[in-house]
Chain A
Amino acid sequence: MPNFIDLNVHAYPETDVPVEEMLRVAKRYGYAGIAITNHNEVLNNKVSNSIFSGVEIRTNSVAELKRKLKHHWGKETLLAVHGGNEKINRAALEDSRVDILAHPCGEKGEGELNHVLVRYAAKNGVAIDFNLNAIIQSSSRRSERARILSKMQENLKLVRKYKAPMILTSNARSIYDLRAPREMIALASLFGMRKEEAVLALSDIPTGVLEKKWKKEKEVEII
């Protein structure tokens, strides 16, 4: 069985749920590890080896994003950027220090990706995240879910075309938002992702992101 990793989970201090509780439920669901990415906050105490500390940078201006990237770079295992805004999406994908662009079409499906941005993502090794929590949370508002799913279909088409790394994350804020890997794969099939792709997006690609595989490949090419 592949090692499933969820790279975008929010826990204490941003939410009420302690990290240990999150990890316990995630392990029960069959994850090998989770990455805690709180908004603009760094997790100080490292509880166990299956928890990867990261930070999700949320700003509205490009200058502040650059400043925060400079501040956090090299200190954290994972640098994510809170996407949604088109300017921020572009700035994040153009910067090779960023590991993940979290929910590029926003938490409610307001942002967009285009072919230029996805090409940058493939070049810089920035993983594009498909936020499945947006599908789950919008299930009572059907038009919104339809919009989110169609945005994800378009993004998936672009990502396949330019072979950018893609990951599936739960963006969980409580233990009830977490979903087991098989359920994540079933949810990914709603916007047309094949099962093999989804398994890779949950296991091998997150591991590669943590090991900075794509960044290293680029460095070798440059040398």
Chain B
Amino acid sequence: MKNPNFKYYQIPSKSQLPNPKQVKIKQKVGAKLVVLGFRICLVVLVCIGMYWDLMLYLPPSLRGRRRYIVFEVISERGIDKKALLKEILDSIYSLYGDVGASESKLWLIGYDKRKDTDIGTGRGILRCAHDKVEEVRAALACIHSVNEAMVGIRVIGISGTIKGATRLRRQFL
């Protein structure tokens, strides 16, 4: 039996096809609209972002006062930043406990090891609360090994800004 719905595919005549030029124009307009929409979205997002930034960051008058400690590490071999930070935090926890550690607001901002000498020496910057510098100094002095490599840490200087601290770090090369 012949299927009544069956049709051979017929090649459409030229008049039935859309004009390729018109298609191109339509596509162009679409692309322009998309770009415009994207830009508007971007501007809106940036505005929202700026507003959020203002909301998120504490105003300077409310921020805690900080000190930046520049220190030098002499070690048997090179040590990496992660292990050093873990050791420093362990040291301050074991010396002053959780309460003392929370008050000191300690964080390792940067650490780099020098490659030109045979002994591993490195310099770094620590951030802490402005009235806990001596406590942090004692905690740094208590560190005797990192990853079973013997180390000695010395504080080079203390600064109130990161800019001053980086300058100090560069000076004592």
Contact = CB atoms under 8 A, between A and B. Distances in A.
Interface of A: 25, 29, 135-137, 139, 142, 145, 174-180, 182-184, 186-187, 189-190
B152 A177 contact: yes
A183 B140 contact: yes
Nearest to B139: A186
Given A136-B144, A139-B143, A174 B138 contact: no
Given A177-B144, A177-B152, A182 B74 contact: no
Contact of B152 (A145, A175, A184, A187): A175
Given A142-B94, A176-B76, A186-B134, A136 B141 contact: yes
Given A136-B142, A183-B140, A178 B152 contact: yes
A177 B137 CA distance: 15
Contact size range, B: 20 to 34
Contacts, number: 56
A176 B74 contact: yes
Contact of B134 (A176, A178, A189): A189
Contacts of B141: 136, 179, 183-184, 186-187
Given A137-B144, A142-B94, A176-B75, A189 B154 contact: no
Given A136-B144, A137-B144, A177-B144, A189 B138 contact: yes
Contacts of B134: 186, 189
Given A175-B152, A180-B155, A190 B138 contact: yes
A172 to B, nearest CB: 9
B76 A182 contact: no
A135 to B, nearest CB: 7
A201 to B, nearest CB: 16
B158 to A, nearest CB: 10
B150 A139 contact: no
A183 B72 CA distance: 12
B95 A190 contact: yes
